Amino acid sequence: MWTEPAKAQAKLTEYALEKQKAFASGALDAGTAMMAGATPAAVAAAALAPSRHRVRANARKLAKGG
């Protein structure tokens, strides 16, 4: 990003949106789990699952050099 500042804004926006989408999805999943009577641990797991998925995908992407 430092070497191509013109492209940085689009990439930074993509990163921010990715986090917002994961958070919103996790909130909805946690609410659904809670309404279904899931245990607190299962509700927490449902809340964190989308973020974990994104983090793992990003780690794989970075490991490949992307």
Q: Give the pLDDT confidence score for residue 48 in this predicted structure.
A: 96
Q: Flag whether pLDDT at 30 surpasses 80.
A: yes
Q: Flag whether pLDDT at 58 surpasses 90.
A: no
Task: Quote the CA–CA distance of 60 and 64 in Å, as a whole number.
Answer: 6
Q: Give the pLDDT confidence score for residue 11 in this predicted structure.
A: 82
**Residues 6 or more apart whose Cβ sits within 8 Å of residue 22:** 50, 51, 53, 54
pTM of the model: 0.76
Side chain identity at residue 64, one-letter code? K
